[in-house]
């Protein structure tokens, strides 16, 4: 009888798995159907979407529209919490009939110390409402107010739960750069352009553009 060396066999398996991951066979960005030139994208959120700290022309939705050559509606309400976003969601859908909605909410919940569970529930309800109506969704995470910070893990967990594209670093990165922000919690024109570029890159990886 011939016996295989278990250590040698296990080494082969580990090498094979490593090669698969190195070749890009690991988890990637969830796919969105390619947007037609006439499809509408809605950027949905609070002051980060509105463009507080810059002019309307310098806001991330306007710049994003230029980068992806699609109509991007700037549906941001300064000071809005996720509960408010959920309340006005259907009205925005009915008015603009988007093919894709980019959701960037939660910062004001954290500033006002809204229960994190409620914030997550509101974000889930927003995403469920959109997906139920055949609208694609991308999620942008925002950092917790702190000296050393980042987007809370629940953003990524929700994105994985609903299998949607997620950008969780760009807002934090921008707000760590003095020359890219207008105040402690808002980008300036340069920062909003970086946000638009990061979201455009995400949509490209997702196959939307």
Tell me the per-residue pLDDT of 86-143, one tens digit each, with 9 for 90 and over.
Answer: 999 999 999 999 999 999 999 999 999 999 999 999 999 999 999 999 999 999 999 9
Q: What percent of the chain has a predicted confidence (pLDDT) above 90?
A: 85
Tokens found for residue 15: 């090498």
**Residue 102 φ/ψ, nearest 5 degrees:** -100, 115
Domains of the chain: 38-205 (3.40.50.1110)
The span from the first CA to the last CA of the chain, in angstroms, equals: 58
Residue 27: its pLDDT value, please? 57
Token pair 């109506």 is at which residue? 133
| Pairwise CA distance, residues 199 & 204, whole Å | 9
- H or E stretch including 98? none
Q: pTM score, two decimals?
A: 0.86
**Contact status, residue 141 vs residue 155, Cβ threshold 8 Å:** yes
């Amino acid at each position: 009888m011939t016996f295989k060396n278990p250590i040698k066999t296990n080494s082969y398996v580990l090498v094979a798995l490593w090669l698969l991951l190195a070749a890009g066979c690991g988890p990637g960005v969830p796919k969105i159907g390619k947007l037609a030139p006439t499809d509408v994208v809605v950027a949905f959120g609070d002051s980060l979407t509105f463009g507080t700290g810059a002019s309307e022309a310098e806001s991330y939705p306007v710049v994003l529209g230029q980068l992806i050559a699609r109509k991007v509606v700037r549906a941001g309400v300064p000071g809005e919490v996720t509960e408010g976003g959920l309340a006005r969601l259907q009205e925005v859908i009915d008015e603009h009939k988007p093919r894709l909605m980019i959701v960037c909410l939660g910062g004001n919940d954290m500033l006002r110390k809204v229960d994190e569970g409620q914030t997550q529930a509101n974000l889930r309800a927003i995403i469920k409402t959109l997906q139920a109506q055949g609208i694609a969704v991308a999620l942008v995470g925002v950092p917790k107010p702190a000296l050393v910070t980042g987007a809370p893990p629940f953003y990524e967990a929700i994105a994985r739960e609903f299998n949607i594209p997620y950008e969780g670093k760009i807002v934090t990165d921008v707000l760590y750069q003095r020359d890219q922000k207008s105040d402690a919690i808002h980008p300036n024109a340069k920062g909003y352009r970086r946000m638009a570029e990061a979201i455009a890159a995400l949509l490209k990886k997702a196959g939307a553009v």
